[in-house]
Amino acid sequence: MSPAVHAQFRLRLPAWRSRLLLIGLLAWLAVLAGRALYLQGLHYDFLQRKGESRYSRAIEISATRGMIVDRNNQPLAISTPVESVAASPADIEITPEQTLKLAQLLGMDSGDVKRRLADSKREFVYLNRQLPPEQAEKVVGLGIPGVFLQREYRRYYPAGEVTAHIIGFTGVDDNGQEALELAFDDVLAGKPGGRRVIKDRLGQIIEDVESIQQPQNGATLTLAIDTKLQYLTHRELKKAVAEHRARAGGIVVLDVVTGEVLALANLPSYNPNNRGQFDPKRTRNRVVTDLFEPGSTLKPFTAAAALEAGAVTPESVIQTAPGQLTIGKRTIHDAHPQGALTVAQVIQKSSNIGAAKIALTLPPETMWSLFHRVGFGTPPRSEFPGEVSGKLRAHASWRPIEQATMSYGHGISVSLLQLARAYSIFATDGELKPVTLIKREAPVGGTAVISPGTAQAVRRMLEMAVQPGGTAPRAQIAGYRVAGKTGTARKIEGKGYALNRYISSFVGFAPVSSPRLIVAVMIDEPGAGQYYGGAVAAPVFSRVAAEALRLLAVPPDAPVNNVVLPPPHLPEIKEEV
């Protein structure tokens, strides 16, 4: 092509077009550079979050729940690690065949598994909790992306039903549900931590990035319970309930010096390690949460009120003949007419008429005041959830017949723990100790309720009650002096009292010379023929207290041949209210 032709072409292609193209390219490069600068420098956090959402997870680290131990550091509740199967629906990749296999391994319906995995916006969902290790391994072996194991803790109770009513149990999330597990949940639970990890497409952790917060494990809770004493207490109660074909039973052992609960048992019981449905009737701690009319076990408090007021002395004579006393339209009876009795003999032989006549020598306020000061009508403040205050009506509403029947334990309701604690005023020199289920490092002071002289006088009466001529000779213990009182109360039925349903009870302490233990026993509706407190509940006291005193190395205060039972041919001294 000639130079003339080239010249023509140069004239037809203006120079500004090439410059415009160059400027456009440079502008586009500048936009790309600006965008890159914005995304990688100014908007870095957004991209980082988007990237991390594909592989980075913040997972919770469970805190280990604190142990519960007895006073000798024997474990009563411990947490063991278990595996739970979880999934990330956002990452799940699963075939229908895998869904069916997964459901079979987990013991679930395949439709339920599908529903849990359906919400792809969720990053975490449990499929099944607290599986055995071999079952969890089979789930992992399926290799399903987005399905993984989550470490948790499961509560284990070494003593099972023996301590169930004291310890309680936890739920699937390891939160306290009953008894002390519930009452001290904040102390035991601790605080969970967290960490950031990188997971692969199978949901498995391949790198630990950082710790967000360290978990704080729960504290250890040390109880006043002595495991050896708890086992023997439960054993003897179980034997008595079976022997007398009773509906239920309860027993509590208190340390006179410290006010600590050394043992507490109820029947029927349950196994807290079995996480099936719990029967509320079996999980109820009857010793603390159930009320009953104490019957004749209340008579010593009536005598104490009268002694404190100066209305009687232990030698004052009360005429109980002819075995019945009419007040208004009501008549009070004695199971066995006795004639003239001293105040001490009224307690020894458990005369309803004698107790009623003693009560009626007092203003209602005087009697009510003592009942109130020993804790009737107020919670015992043991820190156990659901403890009851009982029923003690205001003295202004008492009629003479009500004051009379209240003297022998009708018209008032208490818990067994309240009753055992109240007896501490006779085991000490009139001092009421605060009661606790938690171990104390040193004895605590109490509240003076009655004078030492009154306490010692009633103590002598209670010792007479367990000797021949009293209602509870079967409560005696070889080598130890014992004091206590029986109760045989008819159960409330409708607006009156049942004819053949009873609560048999006994509360006592030993050794009398220097009391160390208070043991209260209650047998609900014995059905094997015997129902008097001296025949049903007193022998349980004797067996438990005898072994407990030897277990605690309490020195004997009587000869080993001190037990004297009445001759078989003599009629048993009975009581019934």
Q: How far is CA 78 from CA 229, 375, 515, in A?
A: 20, 35, 35
218-232, 257-271, 333-347: which has the minimum mean pLDDT? 333-347
Mean pLDDT of 167-189: 92
Is the pLDDT at 554 greater than 60? The verdict is yes
Please give the pLDDT value at position 271: 94
Please give the pLDDT value at position 534: 94
Q: Which of 3-17, 28-42, 57-71 shows the highest mean pLDDT?
A: 57-71
Please give the pLDDT value at position 363: 96
User: What HEC string does 322-385 produce?
Assistant: CCEEEECCEEEECCCCCCEEEHHHHHHHCCHHHHHHHHCCCCHHHHHHHHHHCCCCCCCCCCCC
Is the pLDDT at 435 greater than 80? The verdict is yes
Is the pLDDT at 15 greater than 90? The verdict is no
Please give the pLDDT value at position 452: 97
Please give the pLDDT value at position 215: 77
16 pLDDT band (50/70/90 cuts)?
confident
6 pLDDT band (50/70/90 cuts)?
low
Is the pLDDT at 350 greater than 70? The verdict is yes
432 pLDDT band (50/70/90 cuts)?
very high
Q: What residues act catalytically? A: 296
201 pLDDT band (50/70/90 cuts)?
low
Mean pLDDT of 321-329: 91
114 pLDDT band (50/70/90 cuts)?
confident
Alpha carbon distance 385, 225 (integer Å): 17
Sequential DSSP letters for 418-439 = HHHHHTHHHHTTSEEPPPBSBP
Q: Which domains does the chain have, with CATH numbers?
A: 58-94+123-222 (3.90.1310.10), 227-273+285-551 (3.40.710.10)
Give the count of beta carbons closer than 10 Å to the beta carbon of residue 34. Answer: 10
Closest CA to 177 of 385, 417, 388, 387: 385
Alpha carbon distance 167, 127 (integer Å): 29
Please give the pLDDT value at position 210: 54
Is the pLDDT at 276 greater than 80? The verdict is no
3-state helix, strand, coil in the chain (%, to 5): 35, 25, 40
Please give the pLDDT value at position 439: 96
208 pLDDT band (50/70/90 cuts)?
low
Please give the pLDDT value at position 204: 57
Query: Within 107-214, where are the H helices?
Result: 110-117, 133-140, 164-167, 179-183, 185-189
Position with higher pLDDT, 281 vs 575: 281
Please give the pLDDT value at position 520: 98
Please give the pLDDT value at position 95: 80
pLDDT tens sequence across 507-532: 999 999 999 999 999 999 999 889 99
pLDDT tens sequence across 282-304: 899 999 999 999 999 999 999 99
Please give the pLDDT value at position 541: 98
Question: Coil, strand, or helix at residue 114?
Answer: helix
Contact 360, 404 (CB under 8 A): yes
Is the pLDDT at 119 greater than 80? The verdict is no
Alpha carbon distance 368, 354 (integer Å): 18
pLDDT exceeding 90 applies to what percent of the chain?
A: 61
Is the pLDDT at 3 greater than 60? The verdict is no
Q: How far is CA 205 from CA 25, 58, 180, 413, 508, in A?
A: 46, 11, 37, 60, 62
205-214, 300-309, 449-458: which has the minimum mean pLDDT? 205-214
Name the average pLDDT for the chain. Answer: 88
Is the pLDDT at 9 greater than 70? The verdict is no
pLDDT tens sequence across 47-58: 566 555 555 666
Mean pLDDT of 555-559: 95
pLDDT tens sequence across 450-462: 999 999 999 999 9
Position with higher pLDDT, 58 vs 94: 94
Is the pLDDT at 170 greater than 80? The verdict is yes
Mean pLDDT of 390-402: 94
Please give the pLDDT value at position 82: 83
pLDDT exceeding 70 applies to what percent of the chain?
A: 88
577 pLDDT band (50/70/90 cuts)?
low
pLDDT tens sequence across 480-504: 999 999 999 999 888 788 888 999 9
Please give the pLDDT value at position 13: 56
Alpha carbon distance 258, 416 (integer Å): 18
123-132, 195-204, 377-386, 464-473: which has the minimum mean pLDDT? 195-204
Please give the pLDDT value at position 142: 83
